[in-house]
Every structure is written in structure tokens, then in C-alpha cells.
Amino acid sequence: MNPNQVLCDAIIEELHQCADSEVVNGMSRFGIQTSNALGVKVPVMRDLSKQYRKNHELAELLWQTNIHEARHVASMIDDPQLVTDEQMDRWVLDFNTWDICDGVIFNLFGIIPLGWKKVNDWVCCEEEYVRRAAFTIIAKQAIYEKKTSDENFLPYFKLIIQYSTDERNFVKKAVNWALRQLGKRSHFLRLKALKTCDILLNTTSPSARWIASDARRELMNEKIINRIKH
């Protein structure tokens, strides 16, 4: 048998042993789709993943199980250098809940150069979690891409304005997240974010107005302003 299949089966067995129905109930309360969930806490999954890092084939096998926690582990152990354009497009279509979307972006897709390209590829897709993924990448990059010039982030404000009218809960929250993180990146981008808020507040879209008012509240907070480094 394929050695990685043996490892995959062992990981699934261990995840089942760590399953907790109370965790599943808690996931439901946070709006997480739990039809394929076992109820394993994130620290447990992270600890489990440490011994399997950078195993691309194993990550694919885990993803194909369709088990919620196995897909989280897959994103934690995959080798970023082996992730392909095709894989990203295939996995993103499997996103069926916000925590898988955000987890895969933060653990894997958002840390590779292809992530920048996927923003424009995915933002125009109608699927809720595909569009959320695009804005989650923006938020992730705004937080962690410290050496990237602020000018590289300017085109994202147009995307925020364009898709701020999407009323779906998990899209509008991601658009809001992206706007807030861009604004907290630097004083220069904070001013751009506030101008974007002004534009959105002058629309008739309830979603756009909510995004703007919530982001503006945070970006006008004195403590937030003082934390911005440049």
C-alpha cells in the first residue's frame, strides 16, 4: 500500500479518537457547517500536523476524504512549493464553510506567490466561499506581507467598492475584514481606506454601508491609530 495512504488512514483514526460532540456544537454556534465535522480543536490539529509537514501527497489524500478536520490538517502539512494553480482552483471549489476557507488561505494559499494572482481570478466568481477566499487573501497579505510596497495594495480598494454590495454574510464580512486590515497596514493606506468608507457610506447598499461604518469605527479608534507604524 502507498505509505502516504497508510499515514492518511492513521491520521483519520487519530482525528476520530479526538472527536468531541461538544466541539461540534460549538462550531455550529459560530456558523460553521458541521455535516462532515468530527469536532477536533484547532490546537490538537496543529499538534498532529507537526510530524507530517511538507508532505504534498499526504495533504491531497487528506483533502480527498472530505472530512472537515482532515482538510484543515491538509492545509497545515502541504508543501507550499508544490502547490499548483490547478490545485488551488480545485480546492477552493470545495470550500463549504468559512473556517475551511480562512484556514486554507492563512495556512497555505495566502503564503505563496500564486495567492496574489488568485485574488483577481476568484473575486469575480459567484460562489460565496470562492469570493470570500479572494478577500481573505487580501486581509492576510495586508497583515503579513511586511516588505511589500503599499502601492501594491491600492488596486484592492476598487475591488472592495465593486463587491461591497454583495449581501451574502460571509462575503460582506470578508470585504469588511480586507478593508480594515488594509487601513491598519500604514497611515497612507488608512487614509485610502477612510476615503473608501466615505464612498461606500454614500451608496444605497445596506451591505456597503455596514462594511464602511464598521471599518470606519475601527480605523478612527485612537488605539488603532497609535499602533500603525508608518
In the chain, where the domains are located: 1-82, 85-230
Cell triple for 153: 495594495
Helices 169-183 and 206-219, axial angle in degrees (round to 10): 30
Percentage of the residues of the chain whose pLDDT score is greater than 90: 93
Mean pLDDT, the chain, as a whole number? Answer: 96
Q: Across residues 187-201, what is the average pLDDT? A: 98
Q: Across residues 99-124, what is the average pLDDT? A: 94
What pLDDT shows up at residue 113?
87
pLDDT band at 42 (very low <50, low <70, confident <90, very high): very high
Cell triple for 218: 475601527
Residue 48 has pLDDT above 90, yes or no: yes
Q: Which are the contacts of 183, defined by CB distance < 8 A and separation ≥ 6?
A: 189, 190, 192, 193, 194, 215, 218, 219
Q: 78: which DSSP letter? A: S
Residue 10 has pLDDT above 80, yes or no: yes
Query: Domain 85-230 belongs to what topology?
Result: 1.25.40
The number of beta carbons lying within 10 Å of the beta carbon of residue 107 is 19
Cell triple for 221: 479608534
Give the DSSP H/E element, type plus range, for residue 144.
Answer: helix 128-144
pLDDT tens-digit profile of 52-69?
Answer: 999 999 999 999 999 999
What pLDDT shows up at residue 230?
74
Residue 116 has pLDDT above 90, yes or no: no
Q: Which residues of 57-92 are buried (b: 16+ CB within 10 A; e: fewer)?
A: bbbbbbbebebbbbbbbbbbbbeeeebeeebbeebb
User: Amino acid letter at 50?
Assistant: K
Helices 98-107 and 169-183, axial angle in degrees (round to 10): 40
**pTM of the model as a whole:** 0.94
Q: Across residues 139-146, what is the average pLDDT? A: 93
The number of beta carbons lying within 10 Å of the beta carbon of residue 206 is 11
pLDDT tens-digit profile of 145-172?
Answer: 988 999 999 999 999 999 999 999 999 9
Helix and strand totals (H; E) in the chain? 14, 0
What pLDDT shows up at residue 149?
94
CA 25 to each of CA 21, 32, 38, 41, 99: distance values in angstroms, whole numbers, following the listed order: 6, 10, 10, 12, 15
Helices 68-77 and 3-17, axial angle in degrees (round to 10): 130
User: Amino acid letter at 5?
Assistant: Q
pLDDT band at 196 (very low <50, low <70, confident <90, very high): very high
Q: Which are the contacts of 118, defined by CB distance < 8 A and separation ≥ 6?
A: 88, 92, 109, 133, 134, 137
Q: 112: which DSSP letter? A: S
